[in-house]
Chains A and B, each alone.
Chain A
Amino acid sequence: MRTKRIKGIKFGLLSPTEIRRMSAAKIITADTYGEDGFPIEMGLVNQRIGVIDPGLRCKTCGGRMGECPGHFGHIELAAPVIHVGYAKLIYRMLSATCRKCGRVLLEEKEKKRFLAEIERQKEKQADVGDVVKQVFKEAVKNAVCMYCGEHQKVIKYDKPTTYIEIDEEEKKRRLMPTDVRERLERIPDEDIALFGMDPKSARPEWMVLTVLPVPPVTARPSITLESGQRSEDDLTHKLVDIIRINQRFMENRDAGAPQLIIEDLWELLQYHVSTYFNNEIPGLPPARHRSGRPLKTMEQRLKGKEGRFRGSLSGKRVNFSARTVISPDPDIDIDEVGVPEEIAKELTITVNVTERNLESMRETVRRGKRHPGANYVRRADGKKVKITEINYGMLADELDIGWKVERHLRDGDIVLFNRQPSLHRVSIMAHRVRVMPGKTFRLNPTVCPPYNADYDGDEMNLHVLQTEEARAEARILMAVERNIISPRFGRPIIGGIHDYITGLFLLTWGEKKFEREEVLALLRKIDIDDLGKPAEAPYWTGKQIFSMILPKGLNLQFRGRINDVIIREGELISGVIDEAAIGSFKGIIIDRIFRQYGEKAAKKFINDASRLAINYILHAGFSFGISDEDIPKEGEEQIREEAVREAEHKVEELIRAYEAEELEALPGRTLEETLELLIMQELGRARDEAGDIAERYLGIENAAVLMAKSGARGSMLNLTQMAACVGQQSVRGERIRRGYQGRTLPHFKSGDLSADAHGFVRASFKDGLSPTEYFFHAVGGREALVDTAVRTSQSGYFQRRLINALQDLEVKNDGTVRETRDTIVQFKYGEDSVDPSKGEYGKVVDIDEIIREATGAEVGA
């Protein structure tokens, strides 16, 4: 078959002639199946417009079910009806044209001008909508036709499908669809271009339907229920309604029924045809099923998230995928994923049997349904055979070159792992399979940050790649170790979190000493064969142990969160390992190893670091409890007296000064604002001070302090709130003022400006909050909750729009950014042609570092 190129797509309206021409059958009976159980002739489930019953043949094309794509039929409407989708446009066209001669109510000169403008817009491939709008706007202004002199009447559009003409004496006359159609017919072809339409493919009168196309049955298949009863598609139901009314209309008209009855039936026909197109028209009650469920008609099929476009075309369901809950496993590599055996037995990879794998594939088939086995084989002739308890031995013997085996997922297979929402490219990465017992996917906690995953019930998806090309591509582009450095900010996005940071922090903090046995135990899961000389024989230090996992010859110096870290020749000389060193998002050591030694070394380092960290934290023990929030008596006293009471005194003092009118307003603020500001400052200071006091009594040996300082989890503010004082609660950056007139709660006097009455929480979480404090905290908490909810939805939508706008841009080989038509968007990608994940933090190269490397001397020192 010759391949053809699509040159263009043109949209237009179906003309009645065209509807009849493409119709394979005229439908006149509302019934579907006859008593014999076969589709009846001239019915809605017609054998000439498609087959959905197995065994039957299409009477139009002779195809069986699945071969015949279906053919359209048609219904001859007894009277014309308005197409709801075009009702608004019909109204505009009626208003813009002469009621007698049908010409657009514009001077010849103006028409020329508009036509030229439309032509120009089309040439630019721009939207003609604005110009057309202008045409309508100008045309309605003319009350007298400049061609035939007819006085125009005002036309009122009564939603959804009624048009009323009002003359000067306020007399109203309804325009029936027949009148409307006649008027639209009168519009000359040359004037239609003014509406931005092409008269050859869209005559306005085609918007008033005289013939209704009936979609093929394949587009509205009926389903047979278990009881053997047939249940028709919603569209079929709607078409049945239309045909019934259509027939009644004809019968009544032929019998010479009174005008009133005819009009009622006409209205009913209009209703059915309208709801056939769209069952959610404002002002029309939706057509319902017998059960009361609204019918899903044309527009409902296409529209919205589950509609044809977003649901069926942009989003498809796929095979070879699995989804389950995730849980952590620090013992597997960062680029591995633990797959439950149950899932591994369901997901398959098709392998071509060749000379070289014949024996191993025989072995696989012989295992049958037991794990590293297979589910199906496909013979050389293409016949697919299921492997069962009975035939596996036979199939294994029979297996030959040219066959295909659908084998189970095994250790080492490449799969894609994904967590929604897939906001950036590292939301989908390629992992190596590791089949495990259990029912959850296992992943190393260091890869949680790119997926933004945690283990509170998150589920993730897994996709098995089916072709060699796909596997190669995934390995090259999507492997976890390829994505350690984020393309967004050029720093590692994969790295230690929580306990990993705490573990290495504890290991390298101070001068810890380890005996040989301890060192071996810590390095048990890590591939190290030289322990080196113990620094303080017979003891190794923690820093020495950490150094063992560093690449040989690494030189690095940076400022950590606690102190300066110096690494010389792969030895940690001084400094303690914290979040800045190995954490995700920062991870300077990981970053350096990645750039200097490559992705394999970086992967190995993260693997080793995570095992060492977990081993050490298990060895040392680490816990946090209520007692870690305990502050000695004198500390509590100090917080109460020095911090809180003093601040409250100052606040009282401020209020007194304000009431005595001694307070001076700050520039640009009212007196009240000044007072609020000063009070806020004072109370803020009170909490900070309380935190400082608490910190003095809680040293680094305190678990919470250690976590906060090392960057593992939490902050000093969190600890302050738990141990010392929760502090001022706020709504929109101000103290809490809402509630009753002049006061927040009935517990306070009206006009009370004190700290207590406006949301200052003097207690700590450990002490427990008083009822009023609890309430204020809830008020502040609600705001935070609402903010995050609003923020996520808004930024999500914004991102969607951005992606839609930018998705087709491409960086070309000459460094320009271009869109699909090859027009330039940016002459230099990012204005500096630097890929953030390859450059050095905004610069193309880090010259200082290169000089340091080469000369060994500090730059500028």
Chain B
Amino acid sequence: MKKGKILEHELVPKHEIMEESEVKELLDTYKIKKEQIPKIKISDAVIKEIKAEVGDVVKITRQSRIAGKYISYRLVTE
């Protein structure tokens, strides 16, 4: 598939790099450290596409059969 196109594919959920403040808020709500967030590899196609860096937290919004909309967060790692 051509570069830049994968984000438009219907099976690829929305990935957003979170701001520092947003991350802090997230960590506070769940009373966790960054390492306790689920991981995603830097080599992941979408992560490469949105140019996220190691240590970034991405917010993934996807359609869920069960809940309609489900928001998940992932920490970018090596």
Contact = CB atoms under 8 A, between A and B. Distances in A.
A824 B66 contact: no
Nearest to A814: B30
A436 B67 CA distance: 50
A774 to B, nearest CB: 47
Contacts of B35: 823
B32 A822 contact: yes
A720 interface: no
A824 B32 CA distance: 9
B71 A832 contact: no
Contact of B67 (A821, A823, A824, A832): A832
A254 interface: no
A285 interface: no
A457 B2 CA distance: 64
A830 interface: yes
B34 to A, nearest CB: 11
A828 B70 contact: yes
Contact of A831 (B30, B36, B67): B67
A827 B32 contact: no
A528 interface: no
Contact of A824 (B36, B70, B71): B36
Contacts of A828: 67, 70
Nearest to A815: B30
Given A814-B30, A824-B30, A824-B32, A831 B64 contact: yes
A823 B32 CA distance: 8
A564 B71 CA distance: 41
Contacts of A832: 64, 66-67
Interface string A819-861: 0011111111011100000000010000000000000000000
A824 B37 contact: yes
A821 B64 CA distance: 27
B36 A823 contact: yes
A831 B70 contact: yes
Label chain A's interface by main secondary structure: loop
A23 interface: no
A822 B36 contact: yes
Interface string B24-48: 0000001110011110000000000
A270 interface: no
A435 to B, nearest CB: 47
A818 B36 CA distance: 9
Interface in B3-32: 30-32
A832 B72 CA distance: 12
Contacts of B66: 830-832, 842
A827 B73 contact: yes
B32 to A, nearest CB: 7
Contact of B71 (A816, A821, A823, A827): A827
Contacts of B30: 814, 816, 824, 827
Nearest to B39: A823
Nearest to B73: A827
B38 A824 contact: yes
Contacts of B37: 823-824
Contacts of B70: 828, 831
A831 B64 CA distance: 8
Contacts of A816: 30
Contacts of A814: 30-31
Interface in B52-73: 64, 66-67, 70-73
Nearest to A812: B30
A818 B70 CA distance: 17
B26 to A, nearest CB: 9
Nearest to B64: A831
A816 B73 CA distance: 12
Contacts of A818: 36
A825 B67 contact: no
A823 B30 CA distance: 11
> Which of B30, B38, B72 is packed against the most chain A CB atoms within 10 Å?
B30
Nearest to B62: A831
A828 B68 CA distance: 13
Contacts of B71: 827
Contacts of B38: 823-825
A826 B70 CA distance: 10
Q: Which of A821, A822, A831 has the most CB of B within 10 A?
A: A831
User: Which of B35, B70, B73 has most chain A Cβ within 10 Å?
Assistant: B70
A169 B31 CA distance: 69
A826 B67 CA distance: 13
B13 to A, nearest CB: 13
B2 to A, nearest CB: 30
A818 B38 CA distance: 10
B14 to A, nearest CB: 16
A821 B32 CA distance: 11
The interface centre, meaning the residue of A827, A830, A832, A842 with most chain B CB atoms within 10 A of its CB, is A827
Nearest to A822: B36
Contacts of A830: 66-67
A825 to B, nearest CB: 7
A325 B9 CA distance: 58
A187 to B, nearest CB: 31
A832 B66 CA distance: 7
Nearest to B78: A120
B15 to A, nearest CB: 15
A826 B30 CA distance: 12
Contacts of A825: 38
Nearest to A842: B66
Contacts of B73: 827
A51 B36 CA distance: 51
A824 B27 CA distance: 11
A427 to B, nearest CB: 26
Nearest to B71: A827
Interface in A477-497: none
Nearest to B26: A827
A842 B64 CA distance: 12
Contacts of B32: 822, 824
B54 to A, nearest CB: 13
A181 B28 CA distance: 57
Nearest to B38: A824
A730 to B, nearest CB: 33
Contacts of A831: 64, 66-67, 70
Nearest to A816: B30
Nearest to A823: B36
Nearest to B69: A831
Interface string A83-98: 0000000000000000
A827 B38 CA distance: 9
B35 to A, nearest CB: 7
Contacts of A827: 30, 71-73
A662 B38 CA distance: 62
A101 to B, nearest CB: 36
A816 to B, nearest CB: 6
A539 to B, nearest CB: 51
Contacts of A822: 32, 36
A11 to B, nearest CB: 26
A826 B62 CA distance: 13
A550 B22 CA distance: 55
A825 B64 CA distance: 16
A825 B70 CA distance: 14
Given A814-B30, A816-B30, A831-B70, 4 more contacts: A823-B35, A828-B70, A830-B66, A831-B64
Interface of A: 814, 816, 818, 821-828, 830-832, 842
13 contacts: A818-B36, A822-B36, A823-B36, A823-B37, A824-B30, A824-B36, A825-B38, A827-B30, A828-B70, A831-B64, A831-B67, A832-B64, A832-B66
- 10 closest pairs, A vs B, by CB? A832-B67, A831-B67, A823-B36, A831-B70, A831-B64, A831-B66, A832-B66, A824-B36, A827-B72, A822-B36
